[in-house]
Amino acid sequence: MGIQINNDLNLQNGFINSLYTKVQGYTSQFLNTDTREFASYLNENFDSIDKDGNSNLSKDEISAAVKRETRNQELQKLIDNNSLEKMLANIDTNEDGNISYKETDPNSNVNDILKSAYYEIQNNSQNWGSAALNLTQNMCKNYYASSAMTSLATSAVSALI
Span 61-85, pLDDT tens digits: 998 998 898 888 888 887 776 778 8
- Which amino acid is residue 82, in one-letter code? N
Mention every residue, 6+ apart, whose C-beta is less than 8 A from residue 63: 84
For 33-103, CATH gives: 1.10.238
Region of poorest pLDDT, from 11-20, 83-92, 135-144: 11-20
Give residue 22's pLDDT band: very low, low, confident or very high (50, 70, 90): low
4: left (phi > 0), else alpha (psi -120 to 50), else beta? beta
Rounded Cα gap, residues 62 and 55, in angstroms: 13
Instruction: Work out the average pLDDT over 84-94.
Output: 85
Instruction: Find the farthest-apart pair of alpha carbons in the chain and give their distance in angstroms, rounded.
Output: 56
Delimiting residues of CATH 1.10.238 domain(s) in the chain? 33-103
